[in-house]
Amino acid sequence: MHYEKNFSIINRAIRQRITQQLQSYDLNESNFMLVLIICEQPGISQEALNRQIYREHSIITKAVKRLAEHDWVTITADQQDRRKSCLFPTAKAKANYDDLAAIPLAVDHWLATTLSDNEQQALETLLTKLANFVVPPNC
Least confident of 7-11, 43-47, 79-83: 79-83
pLDDT on residue 136: 67
Query: Coil, helix or strand for 89?
Result: strand
Query: What is the sign, positive or negative, of the torsion defined by CA atoms of 60, 63, 67, 72?
Result: negative
Residue type, 96: N
Q: Which CATH architecture has domain 3-134?
A: Orthogonal Bundle (1.10)
pTM, two decimal places:
0.85
The beta strand positions in 21-119, using DSSP E, are 44-45, 73-77, 85-89
Distance CA 135, CA 26 (A): 30
Domain boundaries, the chain: 3-134
How many CA atoms lie within 13 Å of 108's alpha carbon, on the beta-carbon side? Answer: 10
pLDDT digits (tens, 9 = 90+) for 20-40: 999 999 898 889 999 999 999
pLDDT digits (tens, 9 = 90+) for 76-126: 987 777 778 899 999 999 999 999 999 999 999 999 999 999 999 999 999
